[in-house]
Amino acid sequence: MHQSVMRSVPLVAAASLAIALGTANTLGAQDQAGAQDQVPTPQSTQGARLVLQAQGSFFIDGHTVRSNALTGTAGGGLFGSNEGDITVDQMYVQYMIPPRAGRHVPIVLLHGCCLSGKTYETTPDGRMGWDEYFVRKGHPVYVPDQVSRARSGFNATVFNEVKLGLRPPSDLPSITMASHKLSWELFRFGPHYGEVFPDEQFPVEHIAGLFRQEIPDLNALLPTDSNPTFRNLARLALRLHGAVVLGHSESGFFPQRATLVNPAGMRGLIQIEGGCDTTLTAGQFATLARVPILVVFGDHLGDVPAFAEFRLQGFRVCQRFIAKVNAAGGDATMLHLPESGLHGNSHMMMQDRNNLQVADLILRWIGQHVERHH
């Protein structure tokens, strides 16, 4: 999620949530037991088999730094030393490659704030994620964890230094966690926490499955203007001999930044409800104009009081961004889902009930704007 102009709204009690959801469960009870994720077994899974040419994982980059606080225990505790080399800024990437994949451009799917690559896997209610769907449509798919998140790891030295008394607590980064209430409203499941839009596409009865996906965001450890994920994305795309790179929310503008690092591998940029930067230089717009760009927004942008202005303003800024790219000779498109006949889509559209219909619109854009030039 994008961090801007947020303000607090009144808390809604669990009891009223149950009423709003029209169920006998409170959200709390669902979280404890009522809405456990499905555990897929040979008996429970059906459908068309998935045939892969290859699958697995790898890392992009990473470099060695010296740490003087490998642990937070004086002298290194059982490890015997707090001094040593560690690897940082690497980016974990999972992939699946379908047979005869050479016909279609690879797609990189990057997650947003307080989330991991899990974003694009099985949905909270057990349906297919975009990762598998794009593979089934013939695209090699690459799902990273952002640097400093999940399987990419982070440099924990500063935390241990503070514990060891080598630095003041004020040197700690501010770690961001998304509360249940914030997620509900910022992701637009309804106007207020516990209330659901009549046409809401997110499977709110499995909201606990989304809450389980949310993990601490340590990006405050990284330099804002040169987040290593930017260059890692550029290098990944280059080593894939060209890729469409998609970012979401917090990372919506990351593909743009990767392009400004090196456009050579970038065959298309997709940003799902992320921030747009209209203050780039003419030279930067000229670079972005070399790559087809798709900006996607869902429904109800103005219908959550706490974030209406934030979302509507974000939408308008992206419209101006698109105009500037196109004025520079580029090929940028706004896909506002309600205008394409899809209603009720949330900020987490990759997990919405109609997530494959949204994916189809993205695939159509790739076919028309990226692969047309193949």
Subset of 275-334 contacting a copy of itself (CB under 8 A): none
Per CB under 8 A, the list member of 18, 21, 90, 272 interacting with a copy of itself is 90
Window 242-281: residues binding a copy of itself (CB under 8 A): none
Per-residue contact flags (x/-) with a copy of itself for residues 141 to 160, judged by CB under 8 A: ----x----xxxxx-xx-xx
- 97 makes contact with a copy of itself (CB under 8 A): yes
Window 216-235: residues binding a copy of itself (CB under 8 A): 216, 220
Cross-strand partners of 272 = 248, 296
Residue type, 71: T
Distance, CA of 144 to CA of 117 (rounded, Å): 6
Compare residues 184 and 254 and give the one whose CB is closer to a copy of itself: 184
Distance, CA of 129 to CA of 37 (rounded, Å): 14
Q: What is the CA radius of gyration of the chain?
A: 21
Per CB under 8 A, the list member of 13, 15, 58, 226 interacting with a copy of itself is 58
Distance, CA of 266 to CA of 234 (rounded, Å): 7
Per CB under 8 A, the list member of 21, 112, 129, 274 interacting with a copy of itself is 129
- 92 makes contact with a copy of itself (CB under 8 A): yes
- 34 makes contact with a copy of itself (CB under 8 A): no
130 three-state secondary structure: helix
Classify residue 32 by its DSSP letter. I
- 126 makes contact with a copy of itself (CB under 8 A): yes
- 94 makes contact with a copy of itself (CB under 8 A): yes
309 vs 277, 295, 298, 312, CA distance in Å?
Answer: 17, 19, 15, 5
Tell me the two tokens of residue 227.
């987040």
- 117 makes contact with a copy of itself (CB under 8 A): yes
Compare residues 21 and 236 and give the one whose CB is closer to a copy of itself: 236
Compare residues 62 and 190 and give the one whose CB is closer to a copy of itself: 62
List phi, psi (to 5°) of 271: -125, 125
Distance, CA of 149 to CA of 81 (rounded, Å): 26
Distance, CA of 35 to CA of 88 (rounded, Å): 37
Compare residues 182 and 293 and give the one whose CB is closer to a copy of itself: 182
- 23 makes contact with a copy of itself (CB under 8 A): no
87 vs 84, 95, 144, CA distance in Å?
Answer: 10, 22, 17
List phi, psi (to 5°) of 64: -90, 135
Compare residues 209 and 344 and give the one whose CB is closer to a copy of itself: 209
Distance, CA of 113 to CA of 341 (rounded, Å): 28
Compare residues 79 and 312 and give the one whose CB is closer to a copy of itself: 79
**Which is nearest to 54 in space by CA: 92, 103, 95?**
95
Window 160-179: residues binding a copy of itself (CB under 8 A): 160, 162-163, 165, 169-170, 172-179
Per CB under 8 A, the list member of 239, 316, 320, 374 interacting with a copy of itself is 239
CB of 176 to a copy of itself, least distance (A): 5
Cross-strand partners of 85 = 66
Stretch that binds a copy of itself, among 34-42, 224-232, 271-279, 332-340 (CB under 8 A): 34-42
